[in-house]
């Protein structure tokens, strides 16, 4: 499973083969990924045999929505760990949402992944392979009216990327330095792991940072996002401000809209203060209810009123579309579905 080996160490898998074969293999894995080893046309059969299977997971489920412009995969690692990725195609963009952990230990109340608990960290190669798979899919199969390659990667699938720092870092390094993605097109989304934000600010790559805030005071935030008790708002804001200073990358604040919980005027007023101080862009998204959430999604009217309030206070705000609703494309939900249908786990 060559994606589990660092791109610089591929020679270990092709013992005795000349250097140019290793370069050819690296090219197939990172520059022009293909869905099947058989498509690596300039590698002799014997070499392909040495490699064995290409992907470090099976495709257990593949679903398509929004007229073929949203595609969701549930990959399954040999040890049973579930890995979800969602590809969203637009006329000039193809955004891939990837997972950094199987499950998540942080237990945000409204999140399907959090409700499922923590399974394990994903390896750098398992994270990277999600991008390579989508790249191969776009090149070889494609999506209607969408670029033939991944233009943006967001760590908004399962797991907290900054709780799996070293492997996520290595995956980003491979995406930027080996695959050739622009660091600016990679967004790390975090619920607010302060040590990770501080480390990320020191890395050489200008990646984008999204902070999943959801509440603008500690009292409310600690009920929705338990890790807030350890990393409270004021310290989180200071770490985000430092990141902005060091990287000069625009921050975004993610806000999952829950009826009568965080869609109130009071929260809008408090959020506007934080967003303005950080010069951050706010993304609002309606809650995608999970079987275990108590909270309900805010109505369209409430979301628009909240957005207007922020706008009037000088904050840049976008209401995110809810791609893939009908295929449960929110964080962790496809796996819940697989569990319900009794598919092999």
Would you tell me how many other CB atoms lie within 10 Å of the CB of residue 188? 22
CA distance 191 to 198: 14
Name which of ligand SAH, ligand SF4, none residue 287 binds, using a CB cut-off of 5 to 8 Å depending on partner kind: ligand SAH
Measuring CA to CA, which residue among 292, 33, 64 is closest to residue 137?
Answer: 33
84 touching ligand SF4, by CB under 6 A: no
Catalytic: 126? Answer: no
| Alpha helices, H only, 37-161 | 45-51, 112-116, 124-140
Q: Is 97 a catalytic residue?
A: no
Candidates 127, 275, 234, 251; CA nearest to 200 is: 251
Stretch that binds ligand SF4, among 15-23, 36-44, 105-113, 135-143 (CB under 6 A): 105-113
Contact between 156 and 31 under an 8 Å Cβ cutoff? The reply is no
* Contact positions vs ligand SAH (CB under 6 A): 110-112, 155-156, 160, 189-191, 212, 254, 256, 285, 287-288, 290, 330-331
Q: Is 108 in the site for ligand SF4 (CB under 6 A)?
A: yes
Residue 286 CB, nearest distance to ligand SF4 (Å)?
15
Closest by alpha carbon to 205, among 227, 229, 174, 232?
174
| CA angle, residues 106, 236, 263, in degrees to nearest 5 | 75
User: Which residue from 191, 209, 239, 240 is in contact with ligand SF4, where contact means CB under 6 A?
Assistant: 191
Q: CA dihedral in degrees (122, 128, 131, 135; nearest 10)?
A: -140
Catalytic: which of 84, 123, 160, 254?
A: 84
> CB under 5 to 8 A by kind: which of ligand SF4, ligand SAH, none does 172 bind?
none
CA–CA dist 100, 130 (Å, integer): 10
Cα dist from 64 to 184, 220, 271, whole Å = 28, 36, 35
Query: Which C-beta is closer to ligand SF4: that of 48 or that of 199?
Result: 199
**With binding defined as CB under 6 A, does residue 331 bind ligand SF4?**
yes
Query: Does residue 2 bind ligand SF4 (CB under 6 A)?
Result: no
Residues paired with residue 103 on neighbouring β-strands, in sequence order: 118
Residue with Cβ nearer ligand SF4 (61 or 112) = 112
Residue 258 per-residue DSSP state = B
Per DSSP, the residues of 149-171 read: S--EEEE-SSS-GGGSHHHHHHH
* 107 or 142: CB nearest ligand SF4: 107
Q: Pick the catalytic residue: 97, 104, 108, 331?
A: 331
Among 33, 114, 125, 196, binds ligand SF4 (CB under 6 A): 114
Determine, following the binding rule CB under 6 A, whether residue 104 of this chain makes contact with ligand SF4.
yes
Minimum CB separation of residue 164 from ligand SF4 in Å reads 11
The site map against ligand SF4 for 200-219 (x = CB under 6 A) is ------------x-------
Instruction: Quickly tell me which residue has 């990959």 as its tokens.
Output: 75
Is 159 one of the binding residues for ligand SF4 (CB under 6 A)?
Answer: yes
Q: Candidates 101-109, 257-265, 271-279, 285-293 — which segment interacts with ligand SF4 by CB under 6 A? A: 101-109
Q: Does 113 bind ligand SF4 (CB under 6 A)?
A: yes
The DSSP bridge partners found for residue 190 are 211
Encoding tokens for residue 181? 């993605």
How near is the Cβ of 95 to ligand SAH at its closest, in Å? 13
Q: Which of 17, 119, 160, 295 lies at the binding interface for ligand SF4 (CB under 6 A)? A: 160
Q: How far is the CB of 29 from ligand SF4 (least distance, A)?
A: 28
Neighbouring CB atoms inside 10 A of 237's CB total 17
- Which active-site residues does the annotation give? 84, 331
Interacting residue ranges for ligand SF4, rule: CB under 6 A: 104, 106-108, 111, 113-114, 159-160, 191, 212, 331
């Amino acid at each position: 499973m060559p994606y589990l080996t660092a791109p610089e160490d591929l020679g270990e898998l092709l013992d005795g083969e000349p250097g140019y074969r290793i370069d050819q293999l690296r090219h197939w894995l990172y520059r022009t990924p293909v869905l099947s080893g058989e498509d690596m046309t300039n590698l002799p059969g014997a070499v392909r045999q040495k490699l064995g299977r290409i992907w470090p997971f099976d495709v257990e489920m593949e679903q398509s929505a929004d007229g073929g412009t949203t595609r969701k995969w549930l990959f399954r690692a040999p040890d049973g760990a579930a890995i979800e990725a969602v590809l969203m195609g637009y006329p000039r963009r193809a955004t891939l949402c990837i997972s950094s952990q199987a499950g998540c230990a942080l237990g945000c109340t409204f999140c399907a992944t959090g409700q499922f608990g923590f399974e394990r960290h994903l390896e750098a190669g398992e994270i990277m392979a999600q991008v390579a798979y989508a790249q191969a899919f776009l090149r070889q199969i494609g999506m209607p009216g969408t670029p033939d390659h991944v233009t943006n990667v967001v760590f908004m699938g399962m797991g907290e990327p900054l709780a799996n720092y070293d492997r996520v870092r290595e995956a980003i390094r491979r995406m930027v330095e080996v695959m050739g993605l622009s660091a600016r097109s990679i967004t790390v989304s975090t619920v607010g792991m302060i040590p990770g934000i501080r480390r990320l600010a020191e890395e050489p790559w200008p990646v984008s940072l999204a902070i999943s805030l959801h509440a603008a005071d500690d009292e409310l935030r600690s009920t929705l996002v338990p890790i807030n008790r350890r990393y409270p708002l004021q310290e989180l804001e200071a770490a985000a401000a430092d990141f902005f200073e060091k990287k000069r990358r625009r921050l975004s604040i993610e806000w999952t809209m829950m009826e009568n919980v965080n869609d109130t005027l009071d929260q809008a007023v408090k959020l506007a203060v934080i967003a303005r101080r950080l010069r951050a862009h706010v993304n609002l998204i309606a809650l995608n209810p999970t079987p275990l959430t108590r909270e309900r999604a805010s109505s369209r009217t409430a979301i628009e009123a909240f957005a207007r309030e922020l706008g009037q206070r000088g904050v840049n705000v976008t209401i995110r579309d809810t791609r893939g609703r009908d295929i449960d494309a929110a964080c962790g939900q496809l796996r819940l579905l697989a569990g319900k249908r009794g598919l092999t786990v």
